[in-house]
Structure 1
Amino acid sequence: MLDNLLNLVKQYAGDAIASNPAIPNEKNDEVIAEASNSITGGLQGLLSQGGLKDVLKMFGGQGEGIENSQVTRQISGGFVQNLMDKFGLDNQSAGNIAGSVIPGVLSSLVQKTNDANDNSFDIQSLFNNLSGGKTSGINLQDLLSKVKGGALDLDGDGDTDLQDLLLLFNKGGNSGGGLMDKVKGFFGS
């Protein structure tokens, strides 16, 4: 999965990285790897900090669109900071690179994940990899379908949050243990 992500970043690196005079040519591969690491690390950070609903909304095509999503803003911000810290770029140059690369890569990642004919990424493997296996046993494709259908606001409070997921997993009378503990642990509860 990580190799596929790196290849995806390379597709979007073009002028933003390879032809950018702010980045010496001998650093292009390092900056591309940093973009891939920033995406992976950003998604892992969101998942570990209770951002599952934002990530699921992005993969489900819900919300404000990928360019303006909380997920994209957070990952781009981390990438900008890494470009400034590791490669000495100024804020504007780093921001331009992040703005050219991150939304396109995330958009393509979402598209590939949702394309049944494209097996380069699948939602279950992606989340299992990003969560260190914490999502194994959780049917993420089903959750994603519910996000797409707007069916995850189970408590009627107008949003999708931990309470909605707990209600979803409690439908069968499960009062905890096993899958329920995974969901609670995943959200840090």
Structure 2
Amino acid sequence: MKQTLASLWHPTLGMTVKDLQGGLYVFQFFHEVDMNRVLDMCPWTFNNQLLIIEKVVGCRHPSKVPLFHVYLWLQVHGLRSGFMSARCAQRIGNDVGEFVSVDPNNFTGLCRSYMRVRIQGDEWFSVTFCYEHLSTYCFICGLLGHRERFCPKLVERSKVPLQQLYGPELRAVSR
């Protein structure tokens, strides 16, 4: 894993990786530009498993850093032209999760049929959401980390046929 990620991230001034056990690793970059690039390009996966990455701030021990969220890019399809704005992107981002940033290319004149929003009016209309680089995902319960075959709801409701509430349309097509 260490070698694969180092070759993907290609840090200019290098990096070290320390295994803290229990699936917890510390990636130390020798330049802030390299660290910020890796954080900006989240989410990352290894062996089809989502990597939850967070910056260690201050003198905290890395095992004390809360790893509860992941940064994702959300594509919003079907927006009317008047709603393709940074303000609308922020509102949508906060409704779906926690707004982090908006793709600056949304408003540069590129011909794109969707708007990208980074997450953590009078008239109603529907839009479609697609998540970029969505990792292992269960279409039954909607949680990351397992597929339908291993869903806990299969055990809970083994006698009743389960309905797929989520589908592959949640995955954005690679750009």
What TM-score, normalized to structure 1?
A: 0.23
Bigger fraction of residues in strand:
2
Which of the two has higher C-alpha Rg?
Answer: 2
TM-score (norm. length: structure 2): 0.25
